[in-house]
Structure formats: structure tokens, C-alpha cells
Chain A
Amino acid sequence: MRRKLKKYWREFLIFLSIMGPGIITANVDNDAGGITTYSVAGAHFGYSLIWSFIPIIIALVIIQEMCSRMAVVTGKGLADLIREEFGVKVTFYAMVILIFSNLFNTISEFAGIAASAELFGISKYILVPLCAAAIWWLIVKGTYKSVEKVFLFACLFYVSYIISGFISKPDWGEVARASVKPQFQFDKVYLLMLMGVIGTTIAPWMQFYQQASVVEKNIKLKNYKYSRLDVIVGAFVVNIVAIFIVIVCANTLFRNGIRIETAKDAALALRPLAGNYCFYLFAFGLLNASIFSACILPLSTAYSVCEGMGWEVGVNRRFRQAPQFYTLYTAIIIIGAVVILLPGVKLIPIMLISQATNGILLPFVLIFMLLLVNNKRLMGKYTNSKIYNIFTVITIIAMIGLSLALLLATFIK
């Protein structure tokens, strides 16, 4: 018995040393845009969208697991592999779109910082530049290890949403029923919302980021099972948090028939309904998520682009040794912060462009991944099994279909 306990304890310790990439990548998914989507979904449709989080968890695990596996087996990042297997042209265009998509994503993260600044009554002209400087400093002065610790710490703050969920005192039986019983409403707005919820879950940068960080952690094949567990835990945690956001908004805003447009509206509307604590927790969650994602997006972009183009990758290097890396990284942060402070900038078109570029890039990235993960020369015996491939193809088709539909829908609207 004691020996068994000791063994579990040892395995747990190994898991602690290996976890990170999966959990961090998944959590960044609940960024400013994600929180907005979930708040709106809860406020407008109550619990009736909760069921969609279960297929989302499965899709997230399937896709991110392949990235983790490729990283552990080949020791190369996704951009590296695309360059080596599909040539420079494809890589170049993919990277150009990735830069745009991530740039607009970053802008919307800074918008989230600005929104939470207003919620806390701080001027956004102070908080946004301050955060931008802190983010820049973290990566330039940090090492991979220290940065990962900061990120994992940031993941903890997502608990604020879970707490605010409990404060709102939901009917748990109803929540449980809603999460297992899919309920379709054949209503255009409902379907759009559904697409939005699923569509924000898997973005192209995630695959690049996760694979690169697993490579950076130098995880061994024999420890791969822990890396897979990391992905699974990440997928569950992120969706549980998302469910709680929906619950909070469903339980308060939906019940009182309050319509909202943004996460900021949601927090403000929560104040009279659920009290000050709930308001502050919600606002704090938004701030944390926005800063966290604003750290990762520029980093991930610079990383992937330099990897693919064969330039020196930074983090552990100085500016002179990796000029392209630092230029790109710095430029994205500065543009992201400056755009949001310009007077009269509209957020909606920025979000639309970010969604559109994501939608264009995602099919390519997923198809490349499918080809790479099934390449015997690269993966040896670690290619997908047949059944896994069937699931993967279904997921990929669903994801591509959804993101294209979302793309069309947003532009037709």
C-alpha cells in the first residue's frame, strides 16, 4: 500500500515538472474575446449552450494532443516541420497570415485590459502602457522556465470565475441537465452564437505555441503520457471555467432579461444583481485573462515566424543575436497597445478581422498537422492509429466547417 502511494506520489511529481504547455495554451483560450463570447452566450441563451462544451473538450484534446506528440517525437516546432516538409513558400504565406491574425488578437487583448481598467476606475492611458511594458519586460528578461512559472500562476486566477459562479447560486441540477442534453434552437442568432462558442476554442496560434513550448521543455518520449495528461487537464480546466462564466451570466443577466455586447457590460450588469464581490471577481478575471493572453500571443507569433523562416529564436538570446525575433515581438506589443489607445477606434471590426484571419489559416494548419502526424519518416511508430485518424478527420472537418461558416456569417451580417 505504502509503496503504491509512493509510486503515485512520484508520478505526480513528474507530472508537475512536465505540465505547463497544455494547461497554459488551453487557458489562453479563455482570453478577452473568449470571455466576451461566453458572457454573451450565457446572458442571451441561459444554460442552453452549455452542452456544446463537451464536444469542445474532445476536439481540443484531439488537436492539441497531436501537437504535443509531434513535439515530443520530432523535437521540432510546428513551423519548423511545415518548413521542412512543405517548403518555404507555404510557410511564408502561413506566417504572414499568422502575424495578422495574432496581431488583431493582441489588439483585442489590450482592449480587454482597457475595459477592465475602466471597470476598476483606472485610466486606460495608465494601465495599458504599464501592462505593455511589463509584458515586454517579462519575456526579454525572463527565461523559458521563469516565464512558464508566471504563466502557470496566472492560470490560477481563473478560479475567480469559478468563485463568482458559486456566488451567483445557480441551480446545479439544471446545469447538469443542460450540459448533457443538447438542445438545438433553429434560430439564426442561436446558431451564430453556437458557432462563436465553438469557433473561439481552436485557434491556429495554439498549435504553434503548444508545440514550441513542449519542444522547449525538452520532454522525453518516456514521459509522454504526462504531457498528454497535461493537454487533457488543460482542456477540462479551460472549459470548466468557460462553463462557469456562462453560468454566472445565465443565472443573473439571462434571468433578468439583460442584453449585453461585451464582457465589460457583463461585469457592470452583474454589480446590482450579484453584488460587489461578484463584480470585482469578474472584472479581475477579465484583466488577468487579457494580460495573460497579451503575453503569449506576441511571444508565440515571434517564435513561430522565426522558427519557420530560420531566424534565431530569442527568449534566451540577446537582441543582437536574434534581431528579427525581438523586433517582431516588440512591434506586436507596441501596435497592440497603441491602437487601443487611439481615440475613436472601433473594436468590432478588429475582432472580425482577427476571426476572419483565424478562419482562413485554421484549415491549412489542421491539414498540415494531419499530414505531418501521419508521416512515418517523422513520427515512426507514433503516427495516428486508424480510429484516432477517423476522429481527427471528423474534428478537423467540423472545425473547418464551423470556422468557415462563422467567417461567412460575420461578413454577411
Chain B
Amino acid sequence: MKRMVILMVAATLAATYAFAAGGQQTGGTDAKANLEASLKIDTSGLKSADGQQLLKPSTDNRKVPTRPANPDALPETDPLHWYDMEWAGWNANKAAVPKSPMTGAIGKKVVLIVHGDHPWTTACINGAKKVADAYQMKLTVKSPNWDLAVQNQMIDQAINDRPDMILLIPLDAKTAPQQARKINQAGIPLILFNTLPDAAAMDYAIAWTGPDDFGQFRLLARTFADELRRRNPGAKELGVAYVQHAPGGSPYFARCYGPISELASYAPEIKTLDKQAPGFEADKTMQLVSDWLTRFGKDLKGIIAADDSAQTLGIVEALKKAGREDVLVVAAGNSKVGMDLVKDGKLFAITYQTAEGDGALAVQTAADWFNGKEIPMRRNLAQHIITKQDVDQFYPPQW
């Protein structure tokens, strides 16, 4: 029996050596015609489920500042302390990134690897598919269900598929450089999107696309400060607390230190009372906010939250129980829960975070690259703050 087993294993391995082969690159026979046809495709008329333009041009015209010699030496209230995160990618060395084949986007094989299953992800994939369909791309979606080891395996399998491009939402900012490097070394073009990776990953990617979390939250912080001042005229000190995102990822920093560093100069009378990351469960957030209300009393004038669904539900519930209608709440959005709360007046403002637009922008950038267009190192989604005045325009919600 042992012999039989050994023979079987040996035969399997031998056959592997004999027949194993890598993939093959796809390539059209008439690249020029394909390019011409691809360039004629117009995606500007595509709409997302909320009736908005799917691919809104970015409204961010800020100039990239010069990197300080040592950003870490600056205080956390200085925006330049966060330079390597906020401006990640703008100084990347793209020497190893492949050049566009200029063969057109039509028919290209693209693998999209997301971070995990979530209603947001579903909307994001829908947006990606709309653009992919417009260009007749063959889009394959893989979801590792929030497991980094599985995402790494999916990257291996994607490399094994030899697609024309990989689009990746890195699950962990700090492991993204290794993932990007592996894909780059396999000679497959890569676009990172949605989650900001460590700056080192940008060297291996054609571009990063997605929401400019820092930019959005600087905008949100200004709207928040204006309203807080309007509600508390002449106040010399206004206390604010932050409900943070999960530690580790870029939103954890952007959605807390973005507004802190913005308000330090824009509204210095606004003081940080506390900042905590209770996770994404309404009951835990409610407990946290109830503790704040006991601890800070009337000094707590506002709350800035990293999530407009479960976290905000917890905040609203705690405020309701304490009978505090004076506390101003803003959050990152824009889920159905968040939009409904804005409509009800319980949440003052949320950021416009188009999930469909996020996926769509990544695929559009891939198409532009195949079409030989010049790609900036970063492509941000359009920024907008939703308030009660315009929330109706964003119904029905994308997720």
C-alpha cells in the first residue's frame, strides 16, 4: 500500500513538473482599432443608484505641500504631522510600474479584490461593474471576507490568472506594500483603491483612487465648527469628543486627527475632550457616549463620529436618554441610516462617500491607463457635505 501511495504522489508531482505552465497575457490582434474604439466610450453619463453622476470629477484643488523633514516631530494638531498619510502617494517613486500598452480597455481582463462582504462593498462592486460593462471588460471580483491570509491567497490566485490588471482594496495599510510589491514583481499592473495604504505601497501601483478621507473630514470639520459657533455665539471654549474608526486603518487617523488638526487653526476655541474607538456596535457606542455625558456634562457640545450607521445610532440613543438635544453630531456617511438621521435632524451633517463611485473610479482609472491617458498618482472622489438642506437629492441610498 505504501508503495502505491508513494507512486501516486510521485506521479502527481511528476505530472505537475511536466505540464505546469504559467498564464498567458491577453492581447488583441488589432490593438490600434481597439484603442480607438475604447477612446470613444463615454462614461460621464453613468448614474449611481442614488441618481448622482457615477464619476463626478474631483473638487479638491489643494496643492500638495512640501514634506517636512520629520513629520513625527510636529505636534498632532499640526496638519503636516499627518503628511505621510494625507499625502501618501504624491511623492512615490514609480520607476518599477509598467507602462501603458495603449491597446484600449475593451475586452481587458481585470481582477478586483475587495476587503470583505458588506452592503458598502456590494454597492462598490455595482459601481465597478457599470464602468466595466461600458468598456466590455471581463471583471472578476474576489472577496476575502476580512481575512488578510485569504486576501494574500487571492492575490496569488489572481497572479496565477494572469489578468491585464488587478484592482485591490488592501485589508491592512501596513501589509499593503508587500502585496503591491508581489503583484508588481509578477509584472501585473495594479491600482490600489478605497483604503489608503502605507506610502511604500504607492511605489508599486499605477495609482491610488478613492475618498480623500483627510480632505473630507477637514471639510466636515469646518461645517461642524460653523454650526457650533452659530449655536453657541461668543463661547470661549467648546468641548468636542471623537468616536473613532477601528485602530490600524487610515480612517482611524483621518476621521479623528483630520478634524483635530483642521480645527486647531480654523476654530481654536474648539477643544478635544476625549477620543475613543468603541467599534461598530450601537450599544457600545451608546455606553461610551453616556459615560461622556456623565463625565463632561454641559461642556460636551459636539461629537464627531467615524461612522454614520451603528456608531451614530448609539450616539443618538445616548443623547435621547440623557435628554440632550444641544449636542451637535456629524459623521462619515452616507448610509441609509445616516441619511435618515440627517433628514430627522438628529445628525447635522455627513460626508458624501459614494460607494458606487469608489468602485467605478478604480475601473475608470484602469480603462484610462489601457487607453494610454496620463494617470495622476492619486485620484480622489468628489467631496461634498450632506446636510438637511440637500439630503433628499441623495435618495434612494446606495446601501
Query: Do chains A and B interact in one complex?
Result: no
